[in-house]
Amino acid sequence: MVLESLMNPFSAEKKPWEMLFIGFLYSTVAIFLSLWIFRSYASMVMVFLTVMAAMPLIFSTTQLEEEKDMREAREFVLIKEHGRALSFFVMLFIGFTLSFTLWYIVLPADLTLALFSVQSKTINEINTQITGGVIESLPLLSKIFFNNLKVLIFCLLFSFLYGAGAIFVLTWNASVIGTAIGNFIRSNLSEASPFLQYFQIGSLGVLRYFIHGIPEILAYFVGGLAAGIISVGIIRHDFASKKFRGVVVDSVDMILLAVGLLFAAAIIEVYVTPVLF
């Protein structure tokens, strides 16, 4: 209850940047609890514990956004209102990712291995699929886009069935991205000596994944929120009202926006990130 009570949807929407620190705290507590109690299964337990801390806030926010949909019919107002929730969702995700990255870098090798073993295996599998042959940019674009689209479908399904279930998929993604960034930084730190180079390598590691990662994660949050709003409306039996049709239309618009963001993220990942890094 202590972690859950640190922030409520109203405060989070007013000061979304504070969610970065909340996300960092949630995942840090989860990391050390998982190492202390469930070391053999720490890779997954830390994800579940992080989700447990964030779930009440995410679900309360989804309920709040559904209420806004029922009250407000003007699309541009709804976009602005949903944007406040999405901004703190993204900051929460960044907090998770930075926490996983930091502890990947600073913890001893044996603890890092125990804590991020499943994530490292996932990254190796992804890299094997991508580098398994000579891949032209267009097939790679479609491969990445449809893979991300599959993740979006999972987010939609989890949020519809569990209200705020997409937070599990997104927390897992944060742990994988944090592992990838941490591995990049750790691999290059051995070649750096001055403090300035440490900062440069850390910044490059974060930017390398965040340039395409932010629109991608935003797409998952948009889709998850859309499905969650419909789920809450059904639970409250709002589907019997005329206003629920507007809720569905708003949610469909959000899902289409999520697909567009995913396509933009895939283009950035294939054509922009390799040029910069």
Q: What is the pLDDT of residue 132?
A: 46
Q: What is the pLDDT of residues 118-150, one digit of tens each?
A: 998 888 876 665 554 444 566 788 888 998 999
Measured CA to CA, the distance from residue 231 to residue 159 in angstroms comes to: 7
Q: Which residues of the chain have a pLDDT value below 70? A: 1-5, 69-80, 126-138, 190-199, 201-202, 236-242, 277
Q: Is the pTM of this model over 0.75?
A: yes
Q: CA distances (Å), 120 to each of 83, 152, 175, in order?
A: 33, 22, 10
Q: What is the pLDDT of residue 76?
A: 57
SS3 label, residue 44: helix
In one letter, which amino acid is 240?
A
Six token digits for residue 179: 């592992």
Measured CA to CA, the distance from residue 231 to residue 51 in angstroms comes to: 19
Within 10 A of 32 (CB to CB), how many other CB atoms are there? 15
In one letter, which amino acid is 163?
G
Q: What is the pLDDT of residue 62?
A: 83
DSSP 13: H
Residue 187 Cα to chain centre, angstroms: 24
Rg (alpha carbons) of the chain, rounded to whole number: 19
Measured CA to CA, the distance from residue 183 to residue 125 in angstroms comes to: 15
